[in-house]
Amino acid sequence: MSVMTELQVGLDTRSYPIWIGAGILERLAELLDGRDFPRRLALVSNPVVADLYAERLGAGLEAAGYRVERIIVPEGEEHKNLDTYRRIMTSLIESGFDRRSGLIALGGGVIGDLTGFVAATYLRGIPFLQVPTSLLAQVDSSVGGKTGVNHPLGKNLIGAFYQPRGVLIDVDTLKTLPEREFHAGMAEVVKYGVIRDRAFFDWLDDSWQRILRHDREALVHLVEKSCQTKANIVESDEKEKGLRAILNYGHTFGHAVETLAGYGEVRHGEAVAMGMKVAAEIAHRKGCCSADEVRAVCDLLQKFRLPVAPPEFALDELMAAMLRDKKVQDGRLRLVLNVGIGDCRIDEIDDPRSLFAAVLSH
């Protein structure tokens, strides 16, 4: 398959393309032609992804006249922190990168978030591109401009909104993704169906076997649908003042699980799947959805081999972690709840401790 789809994230002067296809990694230089992107680049990656794809990506760029240097940082969520951020910054400063330079994030969500935050803050902002190689990054974190690092007390508490100049998504990179990481990425895909698109949810339910076989046509379709959904939401609410907060479905509880388990122990998508089950159970208690719809959400997550039962943390620990969440306002916990399947709403929770106690003991 050589067909490529191009979507657009419409943000006025900060609009950018998302290129989606199979076997398109080497086409980046061609796609950048005429886009006034810097010719001196630092390609940021981790050792595993760099060994697989950095040479292919860099060779095409260098053949087109770009100067490409590599910055390799450790793999894993536990390295998405200020220490790694400082290492990248030091490499750029020592190599003399200036405001006419750019960055490429080649890797999963950790690399994308880190590189984007460096781009947002190096010399007060330089251009960057996202080349996501994990499913989670392709369908979620590479689009929308959220960048940042974790703090020991909470996930993504340090960061900035900073849009890339473009996103190149080659679904063929998913062939080398560990199965656990692929399954984790499907949590964010299912999320789009639950909160926004019943027809897409039903397609996922019909197509789950093709998706798990890594059928290229199915993968391109699910990435395109996911990115289009997210782009539409980001265009309406870039900095999460309202509508964009619905993308946090399952994330309040999920981030608490990640924090308490220790970054990297539970994959982000696995934690979000647990959070989606909790959110659906709360939605059912509040009359937003039926018991059958809760089961449908959990069944689809489990078809993609995702856990829905959370680890047994103390309720006090979970509450403390959730109340440090970025979405807390004036000390009040706000949760995204599905309304049936295909819609959602945001509720302020008056008595979150008793509500979570009831759901988690269920």
277 annotated ligand binder: no
**Does 173 appear as a known binding residue?**
yes
Active site residue 230: yes
CA dihedral 241, 340, 192, 356 (to 10 degrees): 70
Question: Of 191, 196, 244, 284, which one is the catalytic site residue?
Answer: 244
124, 241, 312, 362: which one is catalytic? 124
75 annotated ligand binder: yes
Task: Single out the catalytic residue among 196, 225, 255, 284.
Answer: 255
Neighbours of 6 (CB within 10 A): 11
In whole angstroms, how far apart are CA 236 and each of 17, 81, 125, 217, 246? 17, 30, 24, 29, 12
270 is in an annotated binding site: no
What count of residues does the chain have?
A: 362
Residue of 191, 268, 277, 284 with catalytic role: 268
Q: Which of 150, 156, 248, 338 is catalytic?
A: 248
Of 48, 72, 68, 52, which is closest to residue 60 (Cα–Cα)? Answer: 68
Catalytic, 124? Answer yes
Confirm whether residue 239 is marked as ligand binding: no
Q: How many whole angstroms separate alpha carbon 228 and alpha carbon 234?
A: 10
Active site residue 241: no
From 46, 150, 181, 188, the catalytic residue: 188
Which residues make beta-bridge pairs with 339?
Answer: 343
- 111 in a labelled binding site: yes
The reply to whether 229 sits in an annotated binding site is: no
Instruction: Tell me whether residue 268 is annotated as binding.
Output: yes
Alpha helix segments (H runs only) across the chain: 28-32, 47-49, 55-63, 82-94, 109-121, 135-136, 179-196, 198-212, 216-236, 251-261, 268-285, 291-303, 315-323, 352-360
Q: Cα 75–226–338 angle (5° rounding)?
A: 105
Query: Annotated binding residue at 76?
Result: yes
In the residue annotation, 146 being an active-site residue is answered as: yes
Residue of 224, 238, 240, 270 with catalytic role = 240
The verdict on whether residue 79 carries a ligand-binding annotation is yes
Written as one string, the DSSP assignment of 195-206 is HH-HHHHHHHHH
Catalytic option among 146, 191, 196, 216: 146
Report yes or no: 127 and 165 within 8 Å, Cβ to Cβ: yes
Q: Is 191 annotated as a binding residue?
A: no
Query: 179: annotated binding-site residue?
Result: no
**Residue 110 assigned to a binding site:** yes
Determine whether 248 is an active site residue: yes
221 catalytic? Reply is: no
How far, in Å, CA of 325 to CA of 159, rounded?
14
Set 221, 251, 267, 277: catalytic member? 251
6 marked among binding-site residues? no
**Residue 342, marked binder:** no
CA angle 47-177-268, nearest 5°? Answer: 90
Q: Token digits for 270?
A: 């696995």
User: Is 174 marked as a binding-site residue?
Assistant: yes
Residue among 45, 275, 33 nearest 19 (CA): 33
> Is 362 annotated in the active site?
no
Catalytic annotation, pick one of 165, 196, 230, 277: 230
188 is in an annotated binding site: yes
Work out whether the CA dihedral 188, 15, 119, 124 comes out positive or negative: negative
Would the annotation count 252 as a binding residue?
A: no
Catalytic, 69? Answer no
Extract the annotated binding site for Zn(2+).
Answer: 188, 251, 268
Extract the annotated binding site for NAD(+).
Answer: 75-80, 109-113, 133-134, 146, 155, 173-176
Q: What are the catalytic residues? A: 124, 146, 188, 230, 240, 244, 248, 251, 255, 268
Extract the annotated binding site.
Answer: 75-80, 109-113, 133-134, 146, 155, 173-176, 188, 251, 268
